[in-house]
Structure formats: C-alpha cells, structure tokens
Structure 1
Amino acid sequence: MTELKVFSLNVWGIPYISKDKSLRMEALAEALKSKDYDIVCLQEIWDTNDYELIYSKIKSRMPYKYYYYSGLLGSGLCTFSKWPIVETFYYKFPLNGYVHKIHHGDWFAGKGVALAKLEVNGKIINVFNTHLHAQYCQENDEYLSHRLSQAYEAGQLVRLGSEGSALTLFLGDFNSKPSDICSKVLRTIPGLQDAFIHYENDSDYGTNETTRNSYTPPEVLRRNPFGGRLDYILFKSNSQHEAKSLKYGFALPDRIPNCDVSYSDHEAIEATIELKEKATKTPHQHEDIQEVLHHSYNICDNGLREVANKLRHLKISFLVLVALLAACVLVQIDKDHHFSSFIWFILYFPQFFLLAVICFYYVLSWIEFQSLCGFQNSLAVLGTPLPT
C-alpha cells in the first residue's frame, strides 16, 4: 500500500502585474520547505526565477523537478516530486483565446497539459497538470467553446495516456466549478474521481474569490462571498489497483505569517491518495458520458456558428475594401496629375493596412473554425451522433 500526499496551487505569478509577487513566492517556498509532500504541481509560474527559488528551498525533500516551456510566455506549469521523474510530455492547446484580447493574455501563454511519469516503489504514476482558459464574464462567456475544447483534449490525453500506470493524478486550475460542463468532461471522459471529500458545507471550500483571500475584490464578495471551487485534484487507478482519497483540504493558512496578504489569489489544496493492489476488478461508477458528450456537442456547435458568422463578416469587409480600392485606382487613372504622390499614399495606406488586418484575423478565425470542427468530429466518434 502506498500513500501519496499531493499539493496544487495557481500561484498568480505574472511578472510586474501580480501583486506582492516576490513576497508571496518567498513565503510559498518556505511553506513548502516545511511540508512533506510527495508531489507538488503549480500553475502560473511565468517567471523561471520563481521556479528556481522554490526548488532551492525544497530540493532536499523533493529533488526531482520539471518546468514545461511553451509559447511566448511559457506554460506556467511545473512539477516537483519526491520520486524520480522518468518521462515527461507536453501537449499545447490549439485553441486558447484571441490575439486581439491583449488585456486577457491567454493567447500569448502556451497553455496545455503537462505530464510527468513518476516511479514510486516500482510502480508508474502519471501526474498531469493543467491550467484551462480563464472565464472573464459569467454572463457572456465568449471562451466557453475554447475552454471546453481544452477540457476534452486534456481528458482524452489522460484517458489514452493512463494505460499501464498504476495511478493517474490530474491536478490544476480548471477555471470551472464542479457542476460546469468543462469539469464534467474532465471527470467523465477519462473516468477520474474527485479527491474532494464531500463535507456538510461544500461552499466553505471555494478556491477562488472567497472571503478567505485578501485579494478578492469587495464587489465580488458582495455578489458571492463563497467564490467557486476552480482547483482540483482528480485521480484514477488501473484495473489491478484501487485508489481512494483519505484526506482533502486547504494546504496553507489564509494569510502569510506576520503579513496581511494571502499566498495567491487562489487557495492551495492538498489531498492524500491511498493506492493498493486488489484481487478482483470492480468497475468505477461515473457520470453519464452520453449526456456530457451531448451537452459538449451543442456548445461546440454554437461556437462553430459564431466563428462562421465572424468569417462571413470578414469576407464582406474584405470585398467592400477591395471594391473601394478598385474605385480609388480608377480615380487615380483619371486624376493622377491633380494630386501629389503623398496624397495618393495617404489615400491608399489605410486601405491596405485594413486589408492586411482583415486577412490576418481571417486566418486566425479559420484556424479556430478548423479546430472546433476537429473537436466536434471527435465528440461524434465517442458517441454523440452528427446531425442529419
């Protein structure tokens, strides 16, 4: 029998933007140094100096580490382990926001799913770590189809990659509450169980925008003081083993000692997972996969309609600009001697610039359309019928 104590936290480590980052990273490193975890998974470690700082504090207890480089700003994901990391893999999400939403920033991060294979007492343990696209507006979630595509691809990767491993762990910030479709997909597709032990008052265990956290804006607390449980520790065993969650809870106090700030804008969570061999195979009970797939298919279909409408508007804008350019050329042929070259430059430059912008966004939108088509077809293969 093996017991693994695991830890997960979105550390909110955006350089020059995240508040009190240096103070919080130092405090987190000291806190982890005093603990005895087998596995630590972190999200939003955008600065590798913070990664190295944490490792310098915990390397005597957790000598194995891996940072996943990806995209323009990095993946933000890293894993520390007491046990040897024998293999790693990283899958970058093809759909991850929009380039023109600079203030959101997700597009510039190479978000994806990180895998570290560990050897624990002669057994292979798969540890997955991820951070799905953020939800910036609950009333109008323009990124739902992107986040759902990410959840599906992550779930498929876990399902296909868990063969041969005694235990699979999936930790991270899913940016989805337990009842949201993205969380359901991540549990249902690969057959994962939630380490969260259902206490009498589940609302006390929100991990983001709660009264526990010093960085929660007052106006957010007025709307919902309980926040939401967005961070997870999921697990599954293979047919020769059985696993269960022995303990789950917050891993750190609500404030850094002798300070009035929290360790992050998310709450750190920890769980103790027991793994042991079993004599007979017993099937796990999971949510209705067909219902989850059908809901996902409909969301994807709505996303495809929105992108198709965007493509149509871009085509119309392109044709209007081409017609306007043609008209300018005809005018220039007739009136060229009346105006200087500078005037013609001023006339043409905005049109060519807009044409370039339209073409650029058309290409990005077409890539989005193709990715959503692939996502929808993959859902159909798993059991959701294509519309006739």
Structure 2
Amino acid sequence: MTTSAEEVKPMGAETEQFIPSTINILTYNVFGLKFIAGYRRERLSEIGRRLAAHSPVPEIVALQECWTQEDYQSIHHQTKHILPFAKFYYSGIFGGGLAILSKWPIIESSMFRYPLNGRPTAFWRGDWYVGKGVACAKIRYGSAVQDVVEVFCTHLHAPYESEPHDSYICHRTAQAWEIAKLMTGAAERGHLVLGLGDFNMLPLSFAHRLIEGHAPVRDAWRILHPDSSIGTSTHPEEKKRKRVVPTAAFNITENGAASDNVLNTFRWPKSRQKRLFKGESITVDDSTPDPNAKRLDYIFVGEERHLRVAKSTRWEVRSVNVAMTERHPTLGCSLSDHFAVEATISRSSSNGTFVRGDETSQNSPEIPFYDSVLAMISTYIVRERWQRKSRLAHFLLSVFVSIACLVAVWWSPRNFASFILMLVSTLNLSAGVIDGLIGGLFVGSELRALKEFQWEIFNAKGLAEAGNLNDP
C-alpha cells in the first residue's frame, strides 16, 4: 500500500500539488546495544531490509536503541528509496539511541535531554549514561504553511520494579511531563503531533495518564482497541478484570503487546536461546498462553489543542498493528527484543477520533492526580536530600581516614604495612571524592530539577483548580 494523495490546485497556481491523505507511521525499539545485544549487526541489517519491503510502506519511522552510526547508516542506506530524509540524534556519554526517518523533508530538528534521568551510581543500568531524551523533528509533508507534522521520538527510563514501588517512577513521570509539554507546544503551533517510542509504561499507568491528560494527544492503540489489556495477566489491575490468560496471537492483534511476547525469542530462557542459536528449529504456536506480554511501545497522535474554528479536514486513526514479528531468515531469532508498532492516520472531513479541540473531548488530569504527583516528588526530594548528606559525610570521613593512614605510615614497623596503609588511604580517598562529587554536584543538580518539576505541577494544579472554580 502506498500513500494516497489529494490533488490540490491552490488559487492562482499553475502546477499541481499533492498532499498525502494518509500517513503510515512505525516505531521500533531495535535492541542495538553494542557489545551486549546478540547478533546486533545481522539483526539491524535485516531490519533495514524488512523496512524497505514493508507493507504498508512506512513514511515516518522512529527508532530507539539504535546506538551506533554503523547500524543507523545500514538501515538508512537500505531505506533511502522510501525514506530519503533521516536524522541520527546525539546525546549523553554513549548516545541516545534515537533516530527518525522520513519520506518528507525534515525542516528542523533538536534533541531535548531529560533533566531527570536515572543515577550515575546505577552504572550497570546505564540510563543516566546514555543521555535519554526526546528527538524532535519538524517534517513538512505539503506546501501549505500548516502542512507540518512534529515528531517526538523517545525512550523513557526503564522500570526495574512494579509501580508504585518502582524507585525510578519519579524520573519516568518527570520525563512523561517533559514530552507532554513538547507535544502541547507543537499542537499550539497548529501542527499535527506524533509521539513515538518505547515509553516503558503500561496503559493507564501514572505516566500514561499524565501524557494523555496534559498533552492534546491520544494513544492510537486505545482509540481502536479501547478494551485492550492494561498490563500482564498477572498485573493487579488486569486481574480485577477477571479475564482468561490471553494467547500470543491475541496479545498481538488485540492487546498490542509488542514487548515480552512469548513469540519473541529474546524473551525465551537462556537454555532455549542457546539451542536456537546452535541451529535447532524451535517454533511456538501463536495459540500458546502468553501471561507476561505487555505494551510499552506507543504511538500518540493529536492536533491543535485550542481549536475554535472548524477545519475542512481532520486526521483520524485508520489502523494500528503490531509489526516486524518475523524472525531472522538465517539466525532464526527475532529481529529485536521488541516488536514494532505501526499506525495509519488519514485525513477525514469528520470531526476526527483523536483531535482534542473542543471541550467535550478534554481529559485533563483531576486535582487528586496532581496531588499524587506532588506527593511523589516530595517523597523523592526527602530521599535525595538524605543521599546528599550521607555522600558528603562519606567524603569528609574519607579525608580523615586517609590522613590517619598517612600518619600511621610514620610508625609502621615494616614496608608491607606501609604499602597497605598507603593503598587503603588512596582507595578510601578516591571513593570518598567520587561520592562527594556525586553528592555535591549530581544530587544537587537533581534536586534543582525536582524543584522545577514540583513548581510546574503545582502551577498546573492551580490552573486546574481555577478552571474548576470558573466552570458554570
């Protein structure tokens, strides 16, 4: 399927202009971790080939975990004939892993780094080091001034525990708030808005409700599948719905679960993966129960927030699907540890199914929701203040211990004892200095970012209260 187009002849124009009547969108976490992800080059090269031959032909593609220029160039080279315009985004120490490819020209781009993004002490997790943020691109798909789509590609902080016990929930909520603000700004400029990526959140979770409540966008999957699951079958909220454990096929076609699906070979036990990579043919029937699959990858779509004048055409979500579920033709493994999510939106003369211009479609967060966010921030601020004090105290203690070790060297009876004292002094002071820098610099920076976030939520709550007071 190729993009259909409307033939438009503006007044006084002699040449014909073509404006797309549909846009095909795809978002994909490609699992391109260098030195960590197995068969990275082979898989991402195959992803490029599959995108080039994909149907419907993708016209805007957002990639996450595409960490290396080599992999990005491989995908871009193979898709140039359908996606000639592309941008690889640079961020953080090891990169942000984000890229956007487009059929139409990218007229402006920027990379917004999240102020709150994990901790440097959790180096084994890596979220802080990769500089997560939002890759922003303005794409002009027509000749008119308003024929612009603003694309926001992101990869939010990973959850390492279940909500509400996730120690990084404050970080992810702050990130959701930041991308919601960016999408709101794009909508207020009168542009079509696309929020794409691995949001690492469940449907109707804290971050999900914040995005849909604060930004004039809607979750494309829930527009067409409003009764889809809101988590794994073992999730407390999903258990309340008293449904049978879904099959792998149902999770793909109805629940949009592109992550942790039993059909994905990277979610199999290590012993089973080894058998697969040794050449053994292993198949999984799509009727297999799939209790752990969930939806982390999203396509959010929206238009103007404060529309007051009716438009002749609006954008609607026509279809949304889980894609790229095939395996590598020779390796036999999945192409990534996620499946892709794709959607087709189309121009319509109706009011639109996701546009939030009129009051009847507003879904702003309620006051208790803002109170919950403020309580979360306050709790986290207390934690970080204690972290700063304890780390600075460790630094001061390490200075005294180091000096004591050096003084003890004077009375050391043997050379090996002096060596041990010197080694202890050096290692102790090094650890103390690092902890002091983290406490004084990083935690201080994080506390300031938290205060900014706190003020913005407090201000939004005040505006919401004022709006409630003014309601008839």
Confirm or deny a common fold (TM above 0.5).
Answer: yes
Contact 1:213/1:254, CA 8 A, preserved across alignment: no
The one-character-per-residue Cα deviations of 1:75-127 (angstroms, maximum 9, x if unpaired) are 11111111111111110112211222222111110210111111112301111
Select between 125-134 and 289-298 the one with higher mean Cα deviation. 289-298
Contact 1:245/1:274, CA 8 A, preserved across alignment: yes
Amino acid at match of 2:64: Q
Of 38, 49, 66, the match for 2:87: 66
Of 31, 41, 44, the match for 1:12: 31
Q: Which residue of 1 aligns with 2:115?
A: 94
Q: Which residue of 2 aligns with 1:368?
A: 446
| CA RMSD between the two structures | 2.9
Contact 2:314/2:351, CA 8 A, preserved across alignment: no
Q: Which residue of 2 aligns with 1:282?
A: 358
- 2:455 matched to 1:377? yes
Structure 1 residues 56 and 302 mapped into 2: Cα distance closer, same or farther (>3 Å)?
Answer: same
Q: Which residue of 2 aligns with 1:142?
A: 167
- 2:183 matched to 1:158? yes
- Name stretches of at least 5 consecutive residues in structure 1 with no aligned partner: none
The one-character-per-residue Cα deviations of 1:38-66 (angstroms, maximum 9, x if unpaired) are 10111000011111111111111111111
In the TM superposition, residue 292 of structure 1 has moved relative to its aligned partner by 3.4
Q: Partners of 2:162 and 2:351 in 1: how far apart?
A: 47
Structure 1 segments of 4 or more deviating over 6 A? 277-280, 337-341
Q: Partners of 2:346 and 2:95 in 1: how far apart?
A: 33
Select between 194-203 and 142-151 the one with higher mean Cα deviation. 194-203
Of 186, 202, 219, the match for 2:211: 186
The one-character-per-residue Cα deviations of 1:146-176 (angstroms, maximum 9, x if unpaired) are 1111111111122123322331111000000
The one-character-per-residue Cα deviations of 1:310-337 (angstroms, maximum 9, x if unpaired) are 12322433444455467668x66xx946
Structure 1 residues 167 and 349 mapped into 2: Cα distance closer, same or farther (>3 Å)?
Answer: same
Higher RCO (C-alpha 8 Å, min separation 6): 1
Any idea what SS the aligned residue of 2:347 has? strand
The one-character-per-residue Cα deviations of 1:264-307 (angstroms, maximum 9, x if unpaired) are 11110100112346799634332535343232222222211211
Q: Which residue of 2 aligns with 1:117?
A: 138
The one-character-per-residue Cα deviations of 1:124-148 (angstroms, maximum 9, x if unpaired) are 1111100001112327422111111
Contact 2:24/2:58, CA 8 A, preserved across alignment: yes
Q: Partners of 2:412 and 2:153 in 1: how far apart?
A: 66
Contact 2:111/2:135, CA 8 A, preserved across alignment: yes
- 2:77 matched to 1:77? no
Amino acid at match of 2:28: L
Select between 284-293 and 79-88 the one with higher mean Cα deviation. 284-293
Select between 64-73 and 201-210 the one with higher mean Cα deviation. 201-210
Q: Which residue of 2 aligns with 1:128?
A: 152
In the TM superposition, residue 199 of structure 1 has moved relative to its aligned partner by 6.2
The one-character-per-residue Cα deviations of 1:321-377 (angstroms, maximum 9, x if unpaired) are 455467668x66xx9466689566346434422331221221222222221121111
Amino acid at match of 1:198: H
Any idea what SS the aligned residue of 1:367 has? helix
Q: Which residue of 2 aligns with 1:271?
A: 343
Select between 23-32 and 42-51 the one with higher mean Cα deviation. 23-32
Amino acid at match of 1:10: N
Contact 1:207/1:231, CA 8 A, preserved across alignment: yes
In the TM superposition, residue 21 of structure 1 has moved relative to its aligned partner by 1.5
- Name stretches of at least 5 consecutive residues in structure 2 with no aligned partner: 1-5, 7-20, 230-245, 271-287, 464-472
Amino acid at match of 1:33: A
Q: Which residue of 2 aligns with 1:211?
A: 262
In the TM superposition, residue 67 of structure 1 has moved relative to its aligned partner by 0.8
Any idea what SS the aligned residue of 1:233 has? strand
Q: Which residue of 2 aligns with 1:28?
A: 47
Any idea what SS the aligned residue of 1:150 has? helix
Q: Which residue of 2 aligns with 1:231?
A: 297
Tell me the percent identity. Answer: 27
Q: Which residue of 1 aligns with 2:377?
A: 300
In the TM superposition, residue 214 of structure 1 has moved relative to its aligned partner by 1.2
Q: Partners of 1:171 and 1:117 in 2: how far apart?
A: 14
Any idea what SS the aligned residue of 2:267 has? coil
Q: Partners of 2:402 and 2:266 in 1: how far apart?
A: 52
